[in-house]
């Protein structure tokens, strides 16, 4: 990928599938149900929809407008706006890269579970099986010196698949894969949800999400949770929409597009959660375990509770089980390739390295970092890294982007870009949201994260977070300081 050969989507459908693929990920499948349940059930949909429209779509539009207008990588866009901002771009891109290194690991666990699910090999005690037989988990840091071979092998496999997709031309790689995997993912989810609704006790589960707790609406934390879910689920601030939009041909309908992507992503998570809750309802009725004890999120839901459910489901589990884990795999892979694209594009553009070589280097380095998470202490480190990178670094990135594009850059240019070809127009309200409302909400969410982290702090997590802070400051500064090989990089005309 050089200056002379700029990638461009060959169809609007490919762009849309890639965008939906970037948004639909583990967050939709295993984060949303718990967030929904613990924040008021049915009534949560109100803050959720308000956050989606007011903040989520508004921010996606900023990313679309910036990418489409500049048609450059994030590093070069920020360099163009002001030389001093280039390290900020590398900070965002590098943070996202680090998030990818552990996200790949979780998808690697999932790959192992696809194989296990054909025979329900987790046995009668999936909880113990997951921590002891799969992860070989220990909280002691000496575990860092013990690699778990199966986890390492599956992480290498996921990196290899990622490399195989992203090294190709945009349309042959990301475009083609998204066009296949996203429709397939939808079909699988429809099958799982339809099946789950036939299970005895399903209504006990799904009625929980439709039973509103209106008092939750007066709780600020619930609003922050809704907003946090939208940030995570739509992959805001990760330079994905910006990068993908920079590959759009002239005349694209940006606002219409952003709406479709945002609705598809939210539609997916709400629809999928009906299935998840029905399955948990079935479990609650069959085993008499209280429903609220079953609603977990993250790996606990996918690798412990779901296998427990499959154990009591009978033969249908031999089909539904693999489908469930395949669903996570597809959602994960389409997110991973998106998470890496902005970083790869910036490296390619600055250092004039072709796409294939950049992909190879990024995947090898990524795989080496992921190896840390495949050790016996890996899952402990992973939780700490996740809390830090998601709650601090990423939210800080979204905040910085609001300030840069809302205050430093000439915002009216973005309004002009968006309204050029779209049927739905944006105006002053959008400007107010980006300049004032969004930064305040992000700051609130960020402060909440800081307080939670301080309260739950221990020596290990402080050390890991300190190391991570140093890394996400030093590496971006180095990347920004390195001179560009591409002389056009310094051309700041826009």
Which of these segments, 25-33, 416-424, 476-484, 486-494, binds ligand PFF (CB under 6 A)?
A: 25-33
User: Which of residues 235 and 379 has its CB atom nearest to ligand PFF in the complex?
Assistant: 235
Residue from the set 232, 277, 409, 489 that interacts with ligand PFF by CB under 6 A: 232
CB of 214 to ligand PFF, least distance (A): 28
From 20-28, 42-50, 215-223, 467-475, span contacting ligand PFF (CB under 6 A): 20-28
Q: Which is nearer to ligand PFF, 25 or 87 (CB)?
A: 25
Convert residues 388-427 into a mask of x (bound to ligand PFF by CB under 6 A) and - (unbound).
--x-------------------------------------
Cα(97)–Cα(23) distance, rounded to whole angstroms?
16
Among 25, 40, 56, 322, binds ligand PFF (CB under 6 A): 25
Q: Is residue 26 a contact residue for ligand PFF (CB under 6 A)?
A: yes
CB of 23 to ligand PFF, least distance (A): 5
Compute the least distance from the CB of residue 323 to ligand PFF, in Å. 19
Indicate whether 237 belongs to the interface with ligand PFF (CB under 6 A): no
Structure tokens at 359: 């992909």
Which of residues 28 and 58 has its CB atom nearest to ligand PFF in the complex?
28
Residues 289-318 contacting ligand PFF, CB under 6 A:
none
Q: Is 253 exposed, middle or buried (0-12, 13-18, 19+ CB in 10 A)?
A: middle
Is 235 among the residues that bind ligand PFF (CB under 6 A)? yes
Residues, the chain, total? Answer: 494
Cβ nearer to ligand PFF, comparing 73 with 101: 101
**Calpha distance 264→298 (Å, rounded):** 22
Q: Which is nearer to ligand PFF, 335 or 379 (CB)?
A: 335
Contact 99, 370 (CB under 8 A): no
Residue 27 touches ligand PFF, criterion: CB under 6 A: yes
Which one of 37, 48, 79, 103 is in contact with ligand PFF (CB under 6 A)?
103
**Stretch near ligand PFF under the rule CB under 6 A, chosen from 162-170, 231-239, 243-251, 486-494:** 231-239
State the Cα–Cα distance between residues 238 and 95, nearest whole angstrom: 9
Residue 106 beta carbon to ligand PFF: minimum distance, rounded to whole angstroms: 9
Cβ closest to ligand PFF, residue 18 vs residue 81:
18
Contact 250, 80 (CB under 8 A): no
- Please name the residue that has the structure tokens 């001093």: 84
- The stretch near ligand PFF (CB under 6 A) out of 1-9, 123-131, 230-238, 243-251 is 230-238
Instruction: Name which of 83, 18, 59, 66 is nearest 397 in CA terms.
Output: 59
Region 83-102 residues binding ligand PFF, contact defined as CB under 6 A = 99
Q: Per rule CB under 6 A, is residue 224 in the interface with ligand PFF?
A: no
Structural contact between residues 238 and 68, judged by C-beta atoms closer than 8 angstroms: no
Main-chain dihedrals φ then ψ at residue 15, nearest 5 degrees: -60, -45
Helix (H) or strand (E) holding 64: helix 58-70
Minimum CB distance to ligand PFF, residue 112 (Å): 19
User: Nearer Cβ to ligand PFF, position 28 or 252?
Assistant: 28
Stretch 166-205: interaction string toward ligand PFF, x if CB under 6 A: ----------------------------------------
- In contact, 89 and 74? CB cutoff 8 Å: yes
What letter would DSSP give residue 40? T
Q: Name which position in 1, 16, 19, 23 contacts ligand PFF (CB under 6 A).
A: 23
Residues 315-354 that bind ligand PFF (CB under 6 A): 335
Could you give the CA distance from residue 36 to residue 25 in angstroms, rounded to a whole number? 16
CA distance linking residue 73 with residue 479, whole number of Å = 14
Between residues 162 and 233, which has the closer beta carbon with respect to ligand PFF? 233
Which CB atom, from 80 or from 370, has the smaller least distance to ligand PFF?
370
Instruction: Considering the complex, state which of residue 94 and residue 232 has its C-beta at the smaller distance from ligand PFF.
Output: 232
How many Å apart are CA 87 and CA 479, to the nearest integer? Answer: 7
Q: 212 by DSSP, 3-state: which?
A: strand
Write a three-state SS string for 301-319.
HHHHHHHHHHHHHHHHHHH
* Helix-, strand-, coil-residue percentages of the chain, each rounded to 5: 80, 0, 20
Looking at residue 440, the DSSP 8-state letter turns out to be: H
DSSP notation for 79-137: HHH-GGGHHHHHHHHHHHHHHHHHHHHHHHHHHHHHHHHTTTTTTT-HHHIIIIIIS--
Stretch that binds ligand PFF, among 19-27, 139-147, 296-304, 429-437 (CB under 6 A): 19-27
Provide CB contacts within 8 A for 405, sequence distance 6+: 62, 66, 411, 414, 434
**Total residues interacting with ligand PFF, rule: CB under 6 A:** 12
Q: Binder to ligand PFF among 154, 171, 196, 233 (CB under 6 A)? A: 233
What SS3 class is residue 147?
A: strand
Structure tokens at 190: 């429809």
Per CB under 6 A, residues contacting ligand PFF are 23, 25-28, 99, 103, 232-233, 235, 335, 390
């Amino acid at each position: 990928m050089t200056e002379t050969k700029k990638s461009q989507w060959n169809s609007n459908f490919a762009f849309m599938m890639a965008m939906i693929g970037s948004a639909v990920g583990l967050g939709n499948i295993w984060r949303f149900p718990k967030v929904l349940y613990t924040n008021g059930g049915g009534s949560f949909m109100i803050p959720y929809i308000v956050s989606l429209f007011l903040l989520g779509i508004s921010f996606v539009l900023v990313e679309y407008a910036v990418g489409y207008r500049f048609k450059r990588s994030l590093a070069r866009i920020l360099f163009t706006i002001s030389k001093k901002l280039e390290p900020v771009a590398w900070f965002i891109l590098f943070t996202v890269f680090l998030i990818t290194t552990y996200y790949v690991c979780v998808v690697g666990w999932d790959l192992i579970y696809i194989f296990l699910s054909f025979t329900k090999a987790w046995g009668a005690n999936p909880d113990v099986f997951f921590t002891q037989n799969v992860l070989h988990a220990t909280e002691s840091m000496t575990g860092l010196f013990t690699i778990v071979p199966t986890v390492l092998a599956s992480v290498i496999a996921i990196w290899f698949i990622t490399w195989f997709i992203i090294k190709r031309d945009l349309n042959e790689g990301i475009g083609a894969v998204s066009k296949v995997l996203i429709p397939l993912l939808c079909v699988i989810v429809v099958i799982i949800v339809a099946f789950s609704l036939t299970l005895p006790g399903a209504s006990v589960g799904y009625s929980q999400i439709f039973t509103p707790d209106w008092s939750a609406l007066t709780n600020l934390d619930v609003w922050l949770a809704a907003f946090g879910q939208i940030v995570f689920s739509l992959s805001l601030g990760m330079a994905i929409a910006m990068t993908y939009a920079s590959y759009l041909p002239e005349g694209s309908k940006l606002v219409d597009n952003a709406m479709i992507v945002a609705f598809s992503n939210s539609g997916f998570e709400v629809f999928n959660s009906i299935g998840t809750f029905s399955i948990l309802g079935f479990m609650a009725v069959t085993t008499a375990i209280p429903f609220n004890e079953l609603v977990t999120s993250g790996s606990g839901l996918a690798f412990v509770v779901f296998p427990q459910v499959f154990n009591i489901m009978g033969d249908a589990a031999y089909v539904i089980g693999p489908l469930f884990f395949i669903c996570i795999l597809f959602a994960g892979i389409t997110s991973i390739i998106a998470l890496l694209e902005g970083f790869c594009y910036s490296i390619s553009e600055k250092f004039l390295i072709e796409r294939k070589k950049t992909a190879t280097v990024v995947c090898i380095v990524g795989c080496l970092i992921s190896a840390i998470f495949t050790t016996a202490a890996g899952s402990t480190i992973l939780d700490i890294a996740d809390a830090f990178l998601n709650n601090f670094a990423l939210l800080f990135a979204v905040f910085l982007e609001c300030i840069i594009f809302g205050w430093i850059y000439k915002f009216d240019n973005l309004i002009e870009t968006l309204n050029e070809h779209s049927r739905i127009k944006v105006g002053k309200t959008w400007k107010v949201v980006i300049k004032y409302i969004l930064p305040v909400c992000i700051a609130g969410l960020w402060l909440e994260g800081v307080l939670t982290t301080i309260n739950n702090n221990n020596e290990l997590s402080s050390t890991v977070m300190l190391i991570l802070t140093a890394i996400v400051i030093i590496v971006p500064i180095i990347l920004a300081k390195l001179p560009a090989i591409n002389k056009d990089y310094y051309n700041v005309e826009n």
